Structure 1
Amino acid sequence: MTIRAVIVDDEPLARRRIGDLLAGAADVEVVAECANGASAIRAIDESPPDLLFLDIQMPELDGFDVLQAVGVGRVPAVVFVTAYDQFALRAFEAHALDYLLKPFTDERFEAALQRVRGRVRERNGGDLDARLRALLAEVRGGSAGGGYLQRLVVPAGHRSVFVRTDEIDWIEAERNYVRLHVRGRASLLRENLGRLEAALDPAKFCRIHRSTIVQIDRIQAVESLFNGEYLVVLHDGTKLTSSRSYRPNLHRVMGREP
């Protein structure tokens, strides 16, 4: 039996790496490579594959959007590919779904491929459908697992460093990334600030600006500025601006009425 596979990733090098690894698998045929969610949906509609390598973090339509658009029952097996997506990793593990965390080794890829080979041949679609539907319900409904994030996985060269959320001083948005400030050091993480805010405990973190989240315990003082803005001073001396739009959040922290 030949397994028909589709590779979906917005990074050319990532697509090439998966393709090169699959080239050594005699029982797998790559029938399409897609650089975005829209082209992936078209490819799956035209010829449903047996196996889908699906990147989660893509512009416009992400991997979860692709699954919702084509319907989870259209793909017998999925290997999710992600670069430090905190919420997705927790959801995949909770529902026993296969994933590859970038950067992955040849051995890790082979282990994932070996697992999905069995699932493809068994054609146990009903069980997979149920798990994928539960996954989408969790991810689209908020943070995975129903609880707040306790740690983040941060890339550091060829390593992955675990950072406890209670160690974070503040977080700033930087295009498609967020920068975590922890004890005077900064780390870049590919994540959306809005999704991160939704997964953090609101009793511990406060969004004070469209591009800034601060840990409440790190706030030393708040000073009034003009036009309803505030200057937020942290214990380490960092000074951040709280915009007027997020004033209710800061008032909640300060115990004031909105």
Structure 2
Amino acid sequence: MRLLLDIRLSGGRNEGLDIARELAALSQPPLLVLATAFNAHALEAYELGVADYLLKLFTEQRVEQCLQRLRARRPRLQPAGPLRIAARRQKSLVFFDRDEVWAFEAAERLTRVHTAQGVFDVDLSLSAIEASFGRALARVHRNWLVNVTHIKVLKRDSETRVWVGEGLVADGRGIHVPVARERAQQLRDMLLASATGLRRKT
């Protein structure tokens, strides 16, 4: 949370500074900016941990500088879900970034992860993986979760399939993944929503 306070809220007393002292005692104080026509309280203000101290009459450039300071102190959000995948190959554990995943496949009571480095076994079900990674993966079939950023081709004829991997089918590395009939249109719409180049059919 960010808060801008004038030190003299009612014109005579330093209520803004009193509020700053109370906020500084909180376990998670907001980013606070104090504004005033006097520099007498600047030292105490910075000791209280204020993000900035604006002296009136401040310019547009000074306000922009203040905003930059606030942005710099804003906590960075961590990406949702795990960043890495732990998989098995025989007796070895293999680790790779989630962005390296092409797809997850449920097959023969196992879950397999397909990547450019090969195919590996993971211990989680598709439902658990889907819950962990959210929108980064698309459920295109009851047995398949696909990393949308690696979809290179969507083919619709007697059945719908996507080519997932690196490069196109003829010269790339990847896998064909079946798309369930009831999910095909939704997948197509999702892919087109984040792309340009085609005239949309109405």
TM, length-normalised to structure 1: 0.38
TM-score (norm 2): 0.47
Q: Per residue, is there more strand in 1 or in 2?
A: 2
Which protein has the bigger helix share? Answer: 1
